[in-house]
Amino acid sequence: MKRRQEQLALFLALGSLLFISSATASAQVTTADLVGTIKDSSGGVVPGVTVALTNEATGVSRSTTTTDSGTYIFTSLQPGRYRLTAELSGFRKIERTGVELQVNQRAQIDLDLEVGLVSESLLIEGKAPLLETQSSVLGSVIEEKQVQDLPLNGRNFVQLATLSTGVSGAGSGMRGTIMSGTRPDDLRPGTELFVNGNRENSNNYLYDGIDNNTRLTLVIVVRPNVEAIKEFKVQTNLFSAEQGRNPGGQVNVVTKSGGNKIHGATYEFVRNDRFDANNFFANRAGQKKPPFKQNQFGGAIGGPIITNKTFFFADYDGFRQKSGRVFVNTVPTLKMRQGDFSELPGAIYDPLTTLVLPGGGMSRQPFPGNVIPQSRWDPVTAKLMNAYPMPTSSALANNLVTTPPRTQDWNQFDVRIDHTQSERNNFLARYSWSKTATINPYTFPAVQLPGLSKAVGLGNEDTFAGPSALLAEHAVFGWVHVFSPRLVLDSRGGYNHFNLDFTQADVAPGDQLGEQLGVPNANQQDEQNGIPIFSPAGYTGIGQSRSLPILRHERTFQYVTNLIAAGDKHTIKAGFDVRRRHMGEFQTNRGNGRFNFTPNITNNPANNTGGHVMASFLLGAPSLIEQDYLLADAAIRSTEYSAYVGDDWRASEKLTLNIGLRYELDTPPSETSNLWANFDPTTATVLVAGRNGVSETAGVKTFKKAFAPRLGFAYQVAQHTVARGGAGIFWNTAGHGGNALRLQRHVPFGPIYSFSPATQFVTQRVSDGFPTMPALDLTLADNPTGSVIGVDPNYRPGYAEQFNLTVEHELPWSLLLKTSYVGNLGRHLDTTYNLNQAVPGSGPVNNRRPFFAVRPSLADVTWAVSDGTAEYDALQFSATKRLTHGLSGLLSYTWGHSTDTVGQSFGGGADGPLPQDPRNRLADRGNSPFDIRHRLTIAWNYALPFGEGHRWLSGGGPAGYVLGGWQVNGINTFQTGLPFTPTLNATTVNTGTGSRPDRIGDGTLSNPTVDRWFDTSAFATPAPFTYGNSGRNILYGPGRVNFDFSLFKEFGIKEGTRLQFRAECFNLFNTPQFDLPNAAIGAGNAGTITGLVGTPRQIQFGAKVVF
């Protein structure tokens, strides 16, 4: 209670300070500002000019007068087209139309008055200025035409964010991440972004200025419908003080509003496998194209409720998809299923013959003829060995391709109301709803296993097979109050809700399938009734999916208020933001149990030769045995506070300084009933929240020093040239989300059984099963067993030090060139490591763990800390062509390099075992897993110059009808590959974890292929009980070249109504987008590539009526 009172007092003090200082705040997250100076023909400033700004769509108008220095300003404007007028007695009235204001823009339009009568108007056809003369922020605005017309696979707007310099993701190919598509967390596929060396969990998604982020998995709550998007902006570096929470990309989406005229669209897009190319690997294996059918349909409409006052906009989007997912599998051969491993080059050794030699070391005798007698087969794994589908080729690796079916349907709608009560008060309300139903398949078709009461699907654990239902909601209410033309209040409240029910396929309550299979205690909870996970290294896993069921819910309540006070030279802003988060989840990673297998138990221990993972599997001799339980459901609460003050100081006509200070306070999560605990490394005990004086945050302290100063400048060097730049600190308050659930998933509320049998002797077999699950007992925290989880009490949010120097130059033809140096230094990044990892050596693993002397039954201790670092440097270039003569485009090129000590919060993925040695974690510094050295994107739209309103055949007629109305569009992407880390298929360190090999050569090949991407002979198995010297992310995978293209033909139906036919082609030239290779040295498929990160050529047809 005292801690909460201190936080509240601190927050109120900050808020009072902001308002006492009369600094006011601007919610420029979703709005724009317009500033300018009015002069006469002699160049002198003109005070007292009446300036009016009118929204061309809604007729809503605001007015002001110029100051003694001739300046005017309009703040908190909705993006859109405006008409600007200026009039003063003795001068001709100026009217400038078509002034386009964009989200987050601070535009400058200066006017020159001419002597004359007010009744003599001067009409100017305007356009938004290209040069950014008022701000140091780096970013790109994706306009409505680009959102509507560029080819988007699945109509996913996030793909367009990668058109900005310094941004990759949304299918760039990084594997093992939260949003890469290999985990059930990928609930909004294609929403991962890596921005200027920041991780994917460092981005902030805003929907009409309100939080649109899940807290636990860091994906978008509601992915906006393309038809609802007015425009969005991706800010990538040095954004102003009113924006924060994350140092990565700030993705601000602004929805459309209605106007004085009815407008809208209806559409349907269709895809079918008969128009598509085959998957590269399916085609190579002689497999037919996997089935694919997709329909996406919907519409949008907006218009007036009360002319010039109240407007509505609504849209609906429906999606139906049936597809086949391609898996390239490695499965056991026919002989292996009979215990015969004679087709292998190496010997299979009998672990029961292991002898400890007098002089040190060990020896084993091989099985005669490399055949394991049936009497030695484990009864459980023998069933599973023969449950694998038969290979379709004679190869020992990559010998089976499967294409199981997957279905996904969603329905989504948005409703928005805008109301202008008067020139002083504007209101906004919007509600969005989305529901998605997905059925993910198993890798292999259903099979009837001996002893089971039903047929079940089996396969790779990462398929996460089963039905899921996702409900997402998002709401916002906004109020803009204009006290005076130079004093504006902008307040918003909002809410988002994310609810996922993800269950396991082929499993019903009470089935007890794991125990029916013959694994004692496999199903010890009512929610866990499936088959354990069986994961032989280098082979496709068999069993059922991990992590299921997942029952997750999140709610965020947000209130943000902002004020802006504009003077002649200073525009002072301040505001505060509060986000209250509710989270809860039932999920275990291995609730039905897990068995890992390596070749170690069947190799020659004297020199680590021979052996085979499937021989170890058939013997039922695992290298790792795990099971976890969840004895209580958590209800987690946390609050984020932030406040800022900023000043845009127009120091001269050419120089503007952007000065700001932001403060972030992110409270560590707490559980409403204290149902969680934290590990204490000083006593090797578990501290239960609320017990023995432990705080409700389980000892994790609140970090109160997250101050974020920012300083930027914009200097107009010449009429068409601007230099911009600056530096600042940006905090990442997203780190606590993952930690929230960690503190519940171990003893006493979620005990984890983890046992690593010695690699020299068979001490436990699969058919021995698991120990009995303990009941909920708080005293177990005093002597913890199994694996536990902990968070450093001094855990703190990470931050980035950002800086850039940019030069912009405007050329004729509405072309803007921009060159930037961008830097980003990540500090205190969150990461985990095993605090109780054994030192390398022989014999039982547990005996060599650091806590063995005081807690002999304690296994892994996953410890969350915030001491990671990262560095990023880049040269970035862009060319923006504004729409003229039917052509618009955006070219972005980035030459950059990112390094870090850990690329993800939880490690793993392409990083390999991370850290390899927890006692020397700095040795893991290397290339970031998302390091792309070169990336070029070109997006373009071109309306052919024929037909009505164009240069040629504008008079109509048959030729104009046939040749007119055509438009071509494209997105071209070129990038170098992502890095990866060679690992060992069979580790020799005997620590219970993976390790890396010794690097004895370069490893790169001059002409790599999918069958041999890197030189596996350049890596060797280290000496027993030593770590390999191979570094992290030292090799690079395939680059990527992709062309997406679309062709439109438009017909006029009647005035104001158009019919558009579309043909869209994704991956036009069917260039394979290869995944990273298998990097497990010693595995049969090491060095080979078996997957794709992109799609083969896909063709989509669509029809759209726009009115």
Give the pLDDT of residue 126.
59
The first and second tokens of residue 641, run together, are 């506070």
Give the pLDDT of residue 942.
96
Give the pLDDT of residue 573.
92
Strands 106-108 and 858-884: unpaired
Task: Give per-residue pLDDT as tens, 949-987.
Answer: 778 877 777 877 788 889 999 999 999 999 999 999 888
Q: How confident is the model at residue 892 (pLDDT cuts 50, 70, 90)?
A: very high
Cα–Cα distance for residue pair 347/337, rounded to 1 Å? 17
Give the pLDDT of residue 843.
83
Edge-to-edge strand ranges of the sheet holding 61-65: 61-65, 50-55, 80-87, 93-101, 121-125
Q: Is 90 exceeded by the pLDDT of residue 1012?
A: yes
Give the pLDDT of residue 13.
38
Choose between 98 and 304: higher pLDDT.
304
Q: H-type helices in 449-577, by residue range?
A: 513-517
Task: Give per-residue pLDDT as tens, 73-120.
Answer: 998 888 889 999 999 887 888 889 888 888 878 888 888 888 776 556
Backbone angles phi, psi at 671, to 5 degrees: -110, 135
Q: Is 60 exceeded by the pLDDT of residue 349?
A: yes
Give the pLDDT of residue 179.
38
Task: Give per-residue pLDDT as tens, 548-571.
Answer: 888 889 999 999 999 989 888 899
Please give the distance of CA 492 from its chain centroid, rounded to a whole number. 26
CA 612, 614, 619, 620 dihedral sign is positive
Task: Give per-residue pLDDT as tens, 256-280.
Answer: 999 999 999 999 999 999 999 998 9
* Cβ atoms < 10 Å from Cβ of 1100: 23
Helix (H, G, I), strand (E, B) or coil at 245: coil
Q: Is 80 exceeded by the pLDDT of residue 183?
A: no
Give the pLDDT of residue 649.
94
Q: Is 60 exceeded by the pLDDT of residue 176?
A: no
Task: Give per-residue pLDDT as tens, 200-256.
Answer: 888 999 999 999 988 877 778 998 999 999 988 889 999 899 888 899 999 989 999
Please report, rounded to a whole number, the percentage of residues in the chain having pLDDT higher than 70: 92
Cα–Cα distance for residue pair 111/101, rounded to 1 Å? 17
Cα–Cα distance for residue pair 180/192, rounded to 1 Å? 7
Q: How confident is the model at residue 288 (pLDDT cuts 50, 70, 90)?
A: confident
Task: Give per-residue pLDDT as tens, 656-695.
Answer: 999 999 999 999 999 999 998 999 999 999 999 999 999 9
- Mean pLDDT across the stretch 798-809? 96
Q: Evaluate whether 726 touches 712 at the Cβ level (below 8 Å).
A: yes
| Residue reference for tokens 């190319």 | 277
Please report, rounded to a whole number, the percentage of residues in the chain having pLDDT higher than 90: 59
Dihedral, CA of residue 41, residue 46, residue 48 and residue 52, to nearest 10: 60
Choose between 909 and 919: higher pLDDT.
919
Task: Give per-residue pLDDT as tens, 609-663.
Answer: 899 999 999 999 999 999 988 888 888 999 999 999 999 999 998 999 999 999 9
Cα–Cα distance for residue pair 660/663, rounded to 1 Å? 10
Choose between 1062 and 744: higher pLDDT.
1062
Cα–Cα distance for residue pair 968/374, rounded to 1 Å? 66
Q: Is 60 exceeded by the pLDDT of residue 737?
A: no
Task: Give per-residue pLDDT as tens, 1082-1095.
Answer: 888 899 998 888 88
Q: H-type helices in 560-628, by residue range?
A: 613-619
Give the pLDDT of residue 170.
53
- Mean pLDDT across the stretch 407-434? 94
Give the pLDDT of residue 953.
79
Give the pLDDT of residue 1068.
96
Give the pLDDT of residue 740.
58
Cα–Cα distance for residue pair 458/504, rounded to 1 Å? 11
CA 759, 763, 766, 770 dihedral sign is negative
Q: Which residue segments constitute the domains of the chain, with CATH numbers given?
A: 31-125 (2.60.40.1120)
Choose between 530 and 125: higher pLDDT.
530
Count CA atoms closer than 13 A to 1096's CA, side-chain side.
19
321-351 b/e with 16+ CB inside 10 Å = b? bbbbebbbbbbbbeebbebbbeebebbbbbb
Task: Give per-residue pLDDT as tens, 758-783.
Answer: 777 888 999 999 999 888 899 999 99
The first and second tokens of residue 530, run together, are 């499936």
The first and second tokens of residue 541, run together, are 């896993």
Q: Is 60 exceeded by the pLDDT of residue 735?
A: no
Mean pLDDT, all residues of the chain: 88
- Mean pLDDT across the stretch 389-416? 92
